[in-house]
Amino acid sequence: MRNRTLARILVVDDESDVRDLYLQKFRKKIESGDFEFYFSLNGQGALEILNESEPFQIVLLDINMPVMDGLTLLSKILEKFPDTTAIMVSAYGDMKNLRSAMNSGAFDFVLKPIDFHDLEVTIYKTLEHLYKMEELRHLQSKTDLLKAYNQHLKKELSDQRQNLEGYKLSLAVFENMYEGVVITDLNGIILSVNPAFSQITGYDPPEVIGKKTSVLRSHRHESGFYKNLWNGLIQNGFWQGEIWNRKKSGEIFPEWLSIVRINGANNEPDLYVGVFTDITGRKDYEEKIKLKAYHDALTGLPNRLLLEDRLRQSLAHAERENKILAIMFIDLDNFKHVNDTAGHKAGDDLLQNIARFLQNSLRQTDTAARYGGDEFLLVINDLESESNAEEFVKKLLTGFHEKFRTEVDNWKISLSIGISLFPKHGKEGAALVELADQAMYQAKKSGKNKFCYWSG
């Protein structure tokens, strides 16, 4: 079954070979249904496609094009298609135009020659931004609906305060709502619920009416969360936010909840009305976006973006605890020979197996990341001495030859590893990675299938 398309992307570039390059680099994303690409060689053609097609989430615009340049096209797109997000593409020396584009409303940019790994990360970051904006628009509409309901209830309840039937008559307005509705007294005792409440939570009305709303509590939140919720209600008469509750089945689920206080005839607080939506599907979709944005699509390992964050945390921990940290830059020797002789499928399978081997060789506190192509990077935390790093890397090389004996014999593959150490070789993450990279090349020059420490 075809997956839900995450993004329809229009590429506008006057270079004729761009189409084949994108289709080759994003072949797996296209086959999986994640991305749909459309192409135009000029601005006028792009506008025609945008007018005649379904909405596009992203437009990739080359700045330097004849007839209609990227900046002019950007202005037209933002004016006519405000829900489309633009990513600019240009050469490194064209920073003035890039700044103009960003100031005019472009979301991000990439430089030529394009690093398609970085472009993929940029696309997923853009999609995550679009998702959050869509969520905000959705929540604003629900907030407006709840405020309108508040006004309706105030009018209806002004003449119907003597018994519960008055509340039920008011609630009848929402009998067919998709959102769950719960009415409580000021102590949180449930007075009435609508059918959507029962459909979402699994509780029939008699099972919850007369009980406190804590019957739904998931125990996922700390007590301070509920304290802030009630303080907001008491002080402002309104609270809105994400909360995790528990269904009758025991399943814990996320919901977006809006609560409003209803005042009685004397303008005194009388009851609370909560309207909520099960956002499990949206949370799953958000997690899918985040996973793709921060993890390598082939191996599932952290990509460079997540690696940077993990390395920053590890360095801060090492400095705080006065520990040694090792960065190991790994290159797979003779990997091109695998692709040339056995095909790209065999190469991909090998990279996936090596990724699992590296991950299984680490502790939970360490990090294995795919740096790009046939390169991996390990962050080894909490080392007491430099000898600990050497013991680990020797064990890693031995384990690799045992695990991949057939591949070693058939394709002569091996690992070349460069190592840099914190704090001995530096304290800044990017610099330590660069030093480990240099040490890896020294290992290759020394005959491959070995490791080298950086030596300045």
Highest mean pLDDT out of 28-32, 40-44, 117-121:
40-44
Q: What are 386's two structure tokens?
A: 């430099």
- pLDDT of res. 369: 95
pLDDT at residue 163, as a whole number: 46
Alpha helices in 404-456 (DSSP H): 405-411, 429-445
Most confident option among 74-88, 253-267, 436-450 = 436-450
Q: Please indicate, yes or no, whether residues 254 and 324 belong to a single structural domain of this protein.
A: no
- Domains in the chain, number: 3
CA distances from 332 to 237, 318, 336, 355, 397 (A): 62, 28, 9, 11, 12
For 160, the 3-state DSSP assignment is: coil
Please check whether residues 311 and 441 belong to one and the same domain.
yes
Q: How confident is the model at residue 323 (pLDDT cuts 50, 70, 90)?
A: very high
DSSP assigned state of 189: B
Q: Which of 114, 141, 172 represents a domain boundary (last residue)? A: 114
264 has pLDDT over 90 = no
Q: What's the CA gap between 388 and 456, in Å, rounded?
A: 21
Point out the least confidently predicted range of 121-135, 191-205, 215-229, 386-400: 121-135
Q: Is the pLDDT of residue 164 over 60?
A: no
Residue 203: the pLDDT is 95
pLDDT at 383 exceeding the cut of 90: yes
- Work out the pLDDT band at 419, boundaries 50, 70, 90: very high
Number of neighbouring beta carbons within 10 Å of residue 4: 9
For 240, how many CA atoms within 13 A lie in the half-sphere containing its CB?
15
| Of the residues 259, 283, 307, the one at which a domain ends | 283
Residue 37 amino acid letter: F
Pick the range with the lowest mean pLDDT from 103-112, 282-291, 370-379: 282-291
Quote the pLDDT of residue 2.
37
The answer to whether residue 394 scores a pLDDT higher than 80 is yes
Domain of 11, CATH number, reads 3.40.50.2300
Q: Residue 47: pLDDT band by 50, 70, 90 thresholds?
A: very high
Note whether 242 and 173 are same-domain residues: yes
User: In this structure, what are the phi and psi dihedrals at residue 114, rounded to the nearest 5 degrees?
Assistant: -70, 130
Q: Tell me whether residue 288 is in a domain.
A: no
Least confident of 173-182, 300-309, 317-326, 363-372: 173-182
Ordered DSSP codes for 191-235 = EEE-HHHHHHH---HHHHTTSBGGGGB-S-S-HHHHHHHHHHHHH
* Same domain, residue pair 144 and 263: yes
Tell me, what's the pLDDT at 158? Answer: 53
Indicate whether this model's pTM tops 0.85: no
**Residues 234 and 361 grouped into a single domain:** no
**Amino acid of residue 325:** L
**334 plus 434 within the same structural domain:** yes
The pLDDT of residue 3 is 42
Task: Name the active-site residue from 374, 382, 409, 437.
Answer: 374
Looking at the structure, do residues 413 and 320 belong to the same domain, yes or no? yes
CA distance 436 to 452: 9
Q: Which residue has the higher pLDDT, 77 or 292?
A: 77
In which domain, by residue range, is 62 found? 7-114
User: Domain of 345: which CATH number?
Assistant: 3.30.70.270
Model pLDDT for residues 114-129, shown as the tens digit of each residue? 888 888 888 888 888 8
Q: What is the pLDDT of residue 100?
A: 81
Contact in structure between 408 and 365 (CB atoms under 8 Å): no
Instruction: State the burial class of residue 273 (Cβ atoms within 10 Å of its Cβ: 0-12, 13-18, 19+).
Output: buried
Evaluate whether 112 touches 156 at the Cβ level (below 8 Å).
Answer: no
Closest CA to 80 of 46, 107, 110: 46
Whether residue 322 sits in one domain with residue 243: no
With contact defined as beta carbons under 8 Å apart, do 60 and 13 qualify? Answer: yes
196 located within any domain:
yes
Of the three residues 229, 259, 283, the one that is the final residue of a domain is 283
What whole-number percentage of the chain has pLDDT above 70? Answer: 88
Residues 55 and 172 in one domain: no
DSSP state of 174: G
User: Is residue 405, in this structure, part of any structural domain at all?
Assistant: yes
Contact 372, 304 (CB under 8 A): yes
374 has catalytic annotation: yes
Q: Taking 60 as the threshold, does the pLDDT of residue 453 lie above it?
A: yes
DSSP labels, 279-339: -HHHHHHHHHHHHHHHB-TTT-SB-HHHHHHHHHHHHHHHHHHT-EEEEEEEEEETHHHHH
Strands across the sheet containing 108-112 = 35-40, 7-12, 58-62, 85-91, 108-112
Cα–Cα distance measured from residue 89 to residue 62, given in angstroms and rounded to the nearest whole number: 5
Q: Mean pLDDT throughout 1-29?
A: 80
176 and 67 assigned to the same domain: no
Higher pLDDT, 52 or 423: 423
Q: State whether 275 and 329 are in the same domain.
A: no
Lowest mean pLDDT among 269-273, 289-293, 308-312: 289-293
Please, what is the average pLDDT of the chain?
Answer: 86
